[in-house]
A and B are shown apart, each in its own frame.
Chain A
């Protein structure tokens, strides 16, 4: 007799549809049959490195490992060096993946491996304390830091996510993901959500815009796309037309209000941006096109502490210190100010570069601009600003009313444009080069 708490592998009903693969819709009973079948074929080792790119097969591999009492390792990428490092860190591991991957010890393609067991099995009960996954955060040193995910955490976290992402789901939502299942964001939405919410996931892993359009077209209504700002930006700019799309869910990097608005206008859809970290999972959401404040998930408490915001959740194994700087504004809402890494400390005053840049961009007449550390002097910020109708003194005046004097950039140079990449990113190298060039011109009395 087990006296510990356990939860079923899924709360979906046997006849419901949980996924779509090359054979068509997969029902929960078919899925369970295949997962139990696969669980009996896995090697008797503790850790599985699941490299399936077919998302239905990833789901089968992930759940089969759980049924077999094993834990799935989630490498931050599929590079050979990463996989070798994981193998060294976890000697009792094996790789599982598509048969196109020559390196996999266990290569199989479930859809071609014959029919599953004739009788749909009972839904397996999993101990809340079973270690099911280890996700890794890369950190600045490059050594992956493991984050342990227990069944109780994953299951309760997913129920909370469902409220935040889907609310009530009277009709099944059919989802397509462009993000890999090996990341927390992809795992939570495309692998775990179908186990606990009225959703079904496509097995496809579309990459180019036309692939995304085709894969969406293959799904019944209503549809949702799980993606990231990089992919969404390229999708929009490609001009590819999409069929009816009810929701876009975005995470992994900040989504700009501008991109969110354009996506909503172009595809007649709703864009929901999710916020979280590997240690906690999804913590908050907002409809970026119309909301600047984030709504906190009811599954977590946000507690201001000395080192930042502490995240507590009954289902988390411990407290998490949020790697972001946020301002709690009450009513379960917060404002995001920046990552801890961009926190700056000048003369004992703390600020965030992201916040300073946000203030700069908000000045009427400023088209584009960046505040940054030019290098040599750690106590001096500088700014490059595109503002055809303003003068540097006017920009400084506008900033002075809003920010601590130590954070005022000196000098402020007006330029005709910033060397942004097509993704909108600015490389530090390009910014410094432009700064150097502009600085030289100013010193020699010329204007750019």
Chain B
């Protein structure tokens, strides 16, 4: 089950990436966002990062080891945003 925060993030992902075929509720919190799972690519990652920056006012960095893990699933991404937003 998604938490309310995760649901909001799922909605942001769908809106930012124009994922017309699925609804926010269908993004499993623990399923991989990239690779299998939603099958997002690197351009999607850039678009998603931009949407996150605009909504949560944090700049993402790939160099940061936490970031690679953060983008793994909806749940980890949400946790990363909460930890890093002021």
Contacts and interface: CB of A to CB of B under 8 A. Distances in A.
Contacts of A90: none
Interface string A306-330: 0000000000000000000000000
Contacts of B53: 209, 238-239
A423 B43 contact: yes
A214 B47 contact: no
A210 B61 contact: yes
B59 A207 contact: no
B62 A211 contact: yes
B85 to A, nearest CB: 14
Interface string A211-232: 1001000000000000000110
A78 B53 CA distance: 28
Contact of B59 (A238, A422, A423): A238
B86 interface: no
Interface string B48-63: 0111010000011111
B50 A207 contact: no
A210 B51 CA distance: 14
Most chain A Cβ neighbours within 10 Å, of B20, B42, B45, B53: B53
A230 B50 CA distance: 12
Contacts of A41: none
Contacts of A237: 50
Given A207-B42, A207-B45, A422 B62 contact: no
Contact of A422 (B45, B47, B63): B47
B: contact size bracket? 10 to 19
A208 interface: yes
A214 B53 CA distance: 16
Contact of A231 (B46, B61, B63): B46
Interface string A268-304: 0000000000000000000000000000000000000
A304 B61 CA distance: 48
Nearest to A236: B50
B23 interface: no
Contacts of A209: 49-50, 53, 59
B18 A208 contact: no
Interface in B51-86: 51, 53, 59-63, 67
A215 B27 CA distance: 34
Interface string A412-430: 0000000001110001001
Contact of A208 (B16, B20, B51, B59): B59
Contacts of A238: 49-50, 53, 59
A331 to B, nearest CB: 37
A234 B47 contact: yes
Contacts of A430: 18, 20
- Give the dominant DSSP class at B's interface: helix
A421 B18 contact: yes
A239 B16 CA distance: 17
Contacts of B20: 430
A208 B51 CA distance: 12
A240 interface: yes
Interface string A330-342: 0000000000000
Nearest to B60: A208
Contacts of A214: 61, 63
A207 B18 contact: no
Given A214-B63, A238-B59, A421-B18, A208 B49 contact: yes
Interface string A176-216: 00000000000000000000000000000011111100100
B72 to A, nearest CB: 16
Interface in B9-37: 16, 18, 20
Contact of B61 (A211, A230, A422): A211
Given A208-B49, A209-B49, A422-B50, A230 B43 contact: yes
25 contacts: A207-B42, A207-B62, A208-B46, A208-B59, A208-B61, A208-B62, A209-B50, A209-B53, A209-B59, A210-B59, A210-B61, A211-B63, A214-B63, A230-B43, A234-B46, A234-B47, A234-B49, A238-B53, A238-B59, A240-B59, A421-B18, A422-B50, A423-B43, A430-B18, A430-B20
Interface of A: 206-211, 214, 230-231, 234, 237-240, 421-423, 427, 430
Given A207-B62, A208-B49, A238-B49, 14 more contacts: A207-B42, A207-B46, A208-B60, A209-B49, A211-B62, A214-B61, A230-B46, A234-B50, A238-B59, A421-B18, A422-B16, A422-B47, A427-B18, A430-B18
